[in-house]
Structure 1
C-alpha cells in the first residue's frame, strides 16, 4: 500500500522519539544503521542525534555476494558511492564493528523474525561477528505477518520499534512494552539497552 510522504515522516518522527527515550545507552556506542529504501524508516535523523551525543555511526558495505557485510563510519558529508539497488555506502572511512544495529524490516512476525530483500546479508553478517550486536528492528505495524517461515539460519531481532511503540523479544516471542513518553519511569528496557551501558569495550 502506498504511503503518503507526510505519513511516513510522522511515523519516522515518532519512532525517532521512541528510540531516543527507550535506548539512551546507545549514546557513545558504535551503532550501525541502513540507508533507507523507498518508504523504509529513515534512521539518518536518529543517527545524527546519536552522533551529537558521542556515538560512532556506520553504514553496511557489500564486499562480495554471499559474504558478510562490513561497516564503515558514516557522518554527514562523508564520501559515498552507489552500490547494489543504488544504495549509498561510505567509500573509504574507517571500518567499524557495531555494538548495536538498527535494522529495517520489510515484514516481521510475532517471534521477531525479519523479512528482508532475500540476499541474507545481515543474517550472514550477524553470525560471523565474534560478539553479536544488539539488533533493534525498525518497521511499520502494517508490515506485520503471521509468520515469515524462518529458516534455521535466520536470526530474530532483540527489539522492534514501530510507530505504535517498542517490543522486546522474550522466549515466547515479541512482547509489547508500550509507547514511551518523556518523564516515564524506567521501563523494562532499562536493563538491556540501557543495555548499551552494559556493553564492554573490546
Structure 2
C-alpha cells in the first residue's frame, strides 16, 4: 500500500522545483494570462472582500489582478498564521499598508483590521482533475475553509505544470470551486474539472 503522505511530499518537492525552474519570461506570460482570466471571468469581485495571498516560491502573483478589483471598490486581505493547527486570520491589505514578516518569512499586514473574506483566491502547489489541491502540508487553508459557517467561493490559481491526475484527497481536504491556469478557467464538478469560457463564467452568480 502506498504511503500518500510520502507521495505528497515527493510530488510537492518535484512541482516546486519545476515551478522555480520556469524561465522568467514564461512565468510573466502565464501570470498575465491568469490575471486576465481572473478579471474577465469574475467581474463581481469588484464589490467583494477578497482574501488573497503573498506569492511564495515561484507562485502566481495575484496582487496585480487584486489591485484591479480594489480600484473598482473591492477590499483586499492577506492571511496571517496565528498558531499551529489554527485557521488563518485575514487582515486588510493595500499597497501602502504597514507590513511585518510573518510565518515562513512571508510578509503580512501589521495590525490592520481583520476581514472575513467573501471569496478566496487560493495558492496551490498542485491540483487534480476534480479540483482538489495539493498544498504545502500545513493544512492552514483547509482548516480556514472548514471554520466558515457559510463557505466562501474558492478560486485556486496555478500554472498548468502543476496539474496532477489525482492528489489522493483525504477526508479533511476541500476541493476548489474554480481553478484558473494560463490555459483557462475550470469549474469543479462531480467527476472532473470542466473548462468554461471567461464570458460564460462571468454570467454565473458565483460570488453572491
* TM-score, L = length of structure 1: 0.90
Tell me if structure 1 keeps the 8 A contact 2:31–2:60. yes
Q: Deviations over 1:19-39 (max 9, x none)?
A: 000000111100010100121
2:51 pairs, out of 23, 27, 32, with 32
Q: How far apart in 2 are the matches of 1:67 and 1:190?
A: 36
Aligned to 1:123: 142
Unaligned ranges ≥5, structure 1:
181-185
Q: How far apart in 1 are the matches of 2:154 and 2:201?
A: 17
> Is 1:191 aligned with 2:204?
yes
* TM-score, L = length of structure 2: 0.88
Aligned to 2:124: 105
Unaligned ranges ≥5, structure 2:
1-17
Tell me if structure 1 keeps the 8 A contact 2:50–2:74. yes
Which protein is richer in helix relative to its size?
A: 2
1:149 pairs, out of 147, 168, 192, with 168
Displacement of 1:173 in angstroms is 2.2
Q: How far apart in 2 are the matches of 1:157 and 1:129?
A: 15
Deviates more, 1:4-13 or 1:47-56: 4-13
Question: Residue 116 and residue 158 in structure 1: after superposition, are their counterparts in 2 closer, same or farther (change >3 A)?
Answer: same
Question: Residue 189 and residue 175 in structure 1: after superposition, are their counterparts in 2 closer, same or farther (change >3 A)?
Answer: farther
Q: How far apart in 2 are the matches of 1:118 and 1:17?
A: 29
2:80 pairs, out of 36, 61, 64, with 61
Q: How far apart in 2 are the matches of 1:72 and 1:131?
A: 19
Q: How far apart in 1 are the matches of 2:56 and 2:113?
A: 24
Q: How far apart in 1 are the matches of 2:187 and 2:203?
A: 12
Question: Residue 5 and residue 118 in structure 1: after superposition, are their counterparts in 2 closer, same or farther (change >3 A)?
Answer: same
Q: How far apart in 2 are the matches of 1:48 and 1:144?
A: 27
Cα RMSD (Å) of the superposition?
1.1
